[in-house]
Structure 1
């Protein structure tokens, strides 16, 4: 041991985590040290513990300083590090009763982005008051979170039910609860809808379902069905537009988990865009049985939150967690919005919620 209770720092891996300015760039936080130039038999020649840190001199003459807080988090604690990495902390699952307390951030908040991200992180969605109720103001709001993701449909969208893009979203038919962009290897993280106009008709209520809550219910009620949906790869595609057939580089299960912690991280569910299921023909029935049960639970009245969007209120939701849909409608319905990458919005959430020092303090290689 070095001092009182800290493990001895003795391997090339430990020197690889040296945080001095010669090993880590002060501004970019990228490694400067050539890891594989560290002698495999490196050892400590001297070690001194102070109140807040441990000072080490290595057998090759290099000197390192490790804060006790850094070492505390560098030794194991994969579960605690994953909370920071994944942005998973104090998540609240919900059902249709969320209608009584739907999360909302009002327009008068001057620094509202941290509040918006806190609500999305906790509930998976948030309503944001917006003035004026224009596409320009909506786009500015989204860009204040991060850049808007470009797809084969474009970037920021402003559309009516005219099939300008060959997707059922551009029609007036009802859409069951689903997640978007399952046909991408990396599905969109956030999605936003702002109803600008609905005239000369009715219907078009928006549907939200907490996929994490329903997944938990399925796991408790039928663990075997959950396991099938968590382990069977399913392929997807987007092929409606001329000259385009987008497919992920591989199939993915409906439920995606962090391999280190087992935490549910992502739901990919869109029957409209589904292609092949990676099971032998004699076993594929098991997937359909499990998917049928999952689908039925998504459609339980107790799990469906319905609401009418209105001009001046933007709905932003986590496309990795919350499924969305709508009822059929008549008349002219104009919607604007866009996608934001998951890594980018989680990055901003982590930096505003945990702070830079905490986030960077969990980056040690182990």
Structure 2
């Protein structure tokens, strides 16, 4: 059945020479013998429904103290099965993190090549793919053996890293530590920031409002010759204006500047909200602790998941890298959906 073009009104400043409709869509001849455009009905109707793009729908699975039991895949399967990267990226997209087990530890090369199957590894002031021990080669707490509370990385970038990966290649003690019987420590911590934000909004709506409204200065200035800050100030919780849900968070006191005066809320109100947020992040029911083991690569969504660790002794060799958010999501789309579905998600 042919549809009526009268329901589709073109702007007054657009005056095509000819318009034709049929069951498939709308054809416009813009000028004689020059250019002709065809628009399918589904394409037109998707844009008539709203003047704002609809956020991509993803079923998010919150996690707490128990993590996700099945959030892991075997390295050999990822290499051999064509659809494995799709399953891996979908695990991360929905659950916030995933483990890949059985990764070779004889060198860091296997880990690097594996991560590049998701997308290229992002270059930062730390370099690209990293392989380090706690020697303070760079002025960052990651290069120490002290405990680190739950935080997100690269809060000081306009576009914070999308994915982060860790692979513990080895952890050896020293002779003195063996003699004293001291444990090595170094347990890893993950916290679902989306889950924590939902608790904050439910328990203390004002604190949620403050942390989503007050914009803060973020920066990386610890290394000589490096002073990085985003294009503007950003709040701890960035809320999607169409859904009201948190879509990205920034939380790292080591990167945060001074809480500003002159905003809708005072610094005292911000600190009160931050204390409530920090209390939620430290709850036993929210913290997921586990021991990283050589051969197991952890990959997590840095826009959503906070990470940390307990203090440790001995020498740990850790490798991994950052992957851009947009490239990760593109890989997820193109390994989980047909092309027509992808285009509907992106352009309507």
Q: Aligned partners of 1:7 and 1:128: how far apart in 2?
A: 55
User: Is residue 2:117 matched to residue 1:144?
Assistant: yes
Distance 1:6 1:310, change over 3 A: farther
Select which of 26, 41, 44 maps to 1:55.
Answer: 26
Residue range with higher mean Cα deviation, 112-121 or 71-80 = 71-80
User: Is residue 2:189 matched to residue 1:216?
Assistant: no
**1:169 positional shift:** 0.7
Select which of 111, 117, 131 maps to 2:89.
Answer: 117
Select which of 62, 66, 84 maps to 2:39.
Answer: 66
Given that 1:10 and 1:44 are in contact with CA atoms closer than 8 Å, whether structure 2 keeps it comes out as no
Unmatched segments (≥5 aa) in structure 1: 13-38
Q: Aligned partners of 2:184 and 2:345: how far apart in 1?
A: 51
**1:113 positional shift:** 1.3
The Cα offsets for residues 203-243 of structure 1, whole Å up to 9 and x where unpaired, read as 00000000000001101111111010001011122122112
Q: Aligned partners of 1:303 and 1:79: how far apart in 2?
A: 35
Query: What does residue range 30-45 of structure 1 map to in structure 2 within 5 Å?
Result: 40-42=13-15, 45=18
Given that 2:19 and 2:27 are in contact with CA atoms closer than 8 Å, whether structure 1 keeps it comes out as yes
Which residue does the alignment assign to 2:58?
89
Select which of 161, 171, 188 maps to 1:206.
Answer: 188
The Cα offsets for residues 33-68 of structure 1, whole Å up to 9 and x where unpaired, read as xxxxxx814258443222xx1133446345432223
User: Is residue 2:260 matched to residue 1:278?
Assistant: yes
Residue range with higher mean Cα deviation, 112-121 or 296-305 = 112-121
Which residue does the alignment assign to 1:155?
128
Q: Aligned partners of 1:346 and 1:114: how far apart in 2?
A: 11
Distance 1:168 1:77, change over 3 A: same
Which residue does the alignment assign to 1:250?
232
Given that 1:176 and 1:326 are in contact with CA atoms closer than 8 Å, whether structure 2 keeps it comes out as yes
Residue range with higher mean Cα deviation, 267-276 or 105-114 = 105-114
Which residue does the alignment assign to 2:344?
361
Given that 1:74 and 1:362 are in contact with CA atoms closer than 8 Å, whether structure 2 keeps it comes out as no
CA RMSD of aligned residues (A): 2.3
User: Is residue 2:103 matched to residue 1:131?
Assistant: yes
Q: Aligned partners of 1:355 and 1:130: how far apart in 2?
A: 30
**1:197 positional shift:** 0.5
The Cα offsets for residues 238-285 of structure 1, whole Å up to 9 and x where unpaired, read as 122112222222210001123344332101000111112233399210
Q: Aligned partners of 1:6 and 1:292: how far apart in 2?
A: 57
User: Is residue 2:153 matched to residue 1:180?
Assistant: yes
Distance 1:295 1:102, change over 3 A: farther
**1:123 positional shift:** 0.6
The Cα offsets for residues 134-157 of structure 1, whole Å up to 9 and x where unpaired, read as 310000011111111111111111
User: Is residue 2:329 matched to residue 1:343?
Assistant: no
- TM-score of the superposition, structure 1-length normalised? 0.84
User: Is residue 2:72 matched to residue 1:104?
Assistant: yes
Select which of 317, 334, 345 maps to 1:334.
Answer: 317
Which residue does the alignment assign to 1:236?
218
Distance 1:46 1:124, change over 3 A: same
Distance 1:124 1:238, change over 3 A: same
Distance 1:6 1:217, change over 3 A: farther
Given that 2:101 and 2:297 are in contact with CA atoms closer than 8 Å, whether structure 1 keeps it comes out as yes
SS in 2 for 1:271: coil
